Structure 1
């Protein structure tokens, strides 16, 4: 018995009558542009005989060779043991009638999630290789409930490999009154985009995807990110402020408050605190190159303010002067201040320029994460010692 599926829109063209929702979806997508290729995923026990609905609902004549192949498929459906070979023959005929590539994947009944994952990606690789496709439309109406979740998770991976957009479609059979509404799951794609933006932000500190993909603030985010990455600390607070207040539509306050907290790591009450906060942000993410360089710069700025009063910490010459004099001045702090600064300076130079570290202690620091972490913590402590008595 055909079901009238109503897609978004009004009028008779918004309703597609089909026994199998996949047929209605194919017709709907075909009317939006080029008819899509099909990959039909099911199990040995799935109702593959519903494939005949493509001819019934679309008013197509079966091609030569269809009848014997389909009769063999019906026999296997009745026995609950549909083979990949039989399905491939039937789908070859169907593809000729539809004018698109039609492929199938027969899974064990029931399939394990691992089997779904591996064999689905194997099939897509065999069909499209590394080039892939630009859009993936997933019909999650039919099959085992967990099947759609695994296919969606695989599609998320393909967003990175192929750059494919993902569209989810659900024919609301249980919502049917006179018609079954096709549930709009565009929200899910938006949430996937939000998740990807948050992942980039958390991993590398790049907030541009979060704001440009989900809030339409690409230009504002680009300007702010440029001053952060080029270390124009005098501009950071001003350009980050509009972003703190601009919450993307799908970003709940629970999420956006976390983002604002991350942005705080790029700011600070003073220039040197901004540098240290960013250093710690990158250190916690394993970006040691940025972390060490920013920590050393924070020490220099703090040193200018304490040991060269009246000098401009943003002035290159003054900071170079501090770099030359700081080792001597640190003797007034006592303890291992001079040794810690000298070691950090030598390690910083090696990391910044890719040169051989000067001294066995610097060599150990760049070859051992444990030793590098000890040095980082000592450098951070030295920063606070330098600023302790500064007015």
Structure 2
């Protein structure tokens, strides 16, 4: 997997015809004085390709000043850019000419790419697309936000999120910033990679909130004592075996109450406790009802109907009193369901009508069709009506 270093090029004041040179305190010690922080990162990280993003007025000529290429190549290129930079009319064609000229003389590939000022939504979307086009489907990416307009670092972070969304095999591993202290006239290397980790946790929390899927949370906790139990529980939940998920989730909840989670993991503690609260319900019916309610809140109608139907059968088995402790027995549940299906007087009651509609909705959603019943077909063509009716069913059958 190739490594890409993405860096920005701003339009900062020039001193004596060039950028201000700065010594940066790097993790390994003071750097050599350089004007462009991206070159320090290039030397330190040895990327296969360096993507430099700038506007039509960025200091493209100054970028070439510190580039380690022969003067007979460098100087004509600088001269060709001076006027265009001053007048803010650098074009991508000019940058393409520079790239073709320097390519045989540089240790890594360069992509010098023109971006808009990102002042409007249209320009911001264009910038995202420029970055996405510069990175292949599989790559390690390091982002440097040192030299840019003040709003561009926010855009850059959004671009990394967009990049990983459309290219899942791209790994953004570091976010760097060269901080300059005007009092000491020196710079300092700042590793902002924690923002990337925080975003991973936020994404995992969002997935759990909107789908109930805890697998990404489990992956992020894979090195903790919670990870294996959460992974196991997530699998059981994905195959609708919530009873088997209960014990590992109890262990997860116990660990959350007693252990201190490190760094960004602590952000997910409230989400995990909320999403797993159902395991503390005493009865299977209550646990299944809670899961049906959570699914409804997420607008996951398939899981809502599945959990609601199972919860209702569990309730009827328990209420019958004929099979104590057998609420999960498959054969017992089938017998109870058959008795409900065959009970004509019951089917004419309000409860019976709700039961039949829930059963038919569950079957239609599970099989991915509209069902043969007219009332089911109508509901599956109208989200608002479906949601209203399904909530009514849950209120009637699971209360």
Settle same-fold status: TM greater than 0.5. Answer: yes
Q: How far apart in 1 are the matches of 2:349 and 2:333? A: 24
Match of 2:375 among 361, 368, 379: 361
Q: Does 1:48 align with 2:60?
A: yes
Q: Deviations over 1:150-174 (max 9, x none)?
A: 1210111111222322221100112
The answer for unaligned runs of 5 or more in structure 1 is 386-391
The answer to whether the 8 A contact 1:267-1:273 is kept is: no
Per mean C-alpha deviation after superposition, the further-off stretch among 246-255 and 152-161 is 246-255
Match of 2:287 among 267, 270, 274: 274
Q: Deviations over 1:286-330 (max 9, x none)?
A: 221111111111100000000243341111110001101235679
Q: Aligned in 2, Cα 1:375/1:325: closer, same or farther, shift over 3 Å?
A: farther
Correspondence 1:48-87 to 2 at 5 A: 48-55=60-67, 60-62=68-70, 65-87=73-95
Deviation at 1:97, TM superposition (A): 1.9
Q: How far apart in 1 are the matches of 2:26 and 2:319? A: 69
Q: Deviations over 1:192-216 (max 9, x none)?
A: 1111211221121111212321562
SS class of match (2:380): helix
Q: Aligned in 2, Cα 1:366/1:102: closer, same or farther, shift over 3 Å?
A: same
Deviation at 1:240, TM superposition (A): 0.8
Q: How far apart in 2 are the matches of 1:305 and 1:180? A: 71
| Relative contact order, higher structure (CA 8 A, sep 6+) | 2
Q: Does 1:241 align with 2:250?
A: yes
Q: Which residue of 2 aligns with 1:2?
A: 21
CA-atom RMSD, angstroms?
2.8
Q: How many residues align?
A: 371
The answer to whether the 8 A contact 1:190-1:214 is kept is: no
Q: Deviations over 1:23-61 (max 9, x none)?
A: 11111111xxxx331221122222222213433xxxx34
Q: Does 1:92 align with 2:97?
A: no
Q: How far apart in 2 are the matches of 1:287 and 1:199? A: 15
Correspondence 1:79-228 to 2 at 5 A: 79-107=87-115, 110-114=117-121, 116-128=123-135, 131-163=136-168, 164-166=170-172, 167-174=174-181, 177=184, 179-214=186-221, 216-217=223-224, 218-228=227-237
If the length of structure 2 is used for normalisation, what is the TM-score?
0.83
Q: Aligned in 2, Cα 1:235/1:91: closer, same or farther, shift over 3 Å?
A: same
Correspondence 1:17-56 to 2 at 5 A: 17-30=33-46, 35-55=47-67
If the length of structure 1 is used for normalisation, what is the TM-score?
0.84
Q: Deviations over 1:61-116 (max 9, x none)?
A: 427543322211123223343333223222333333223221223345x5424355
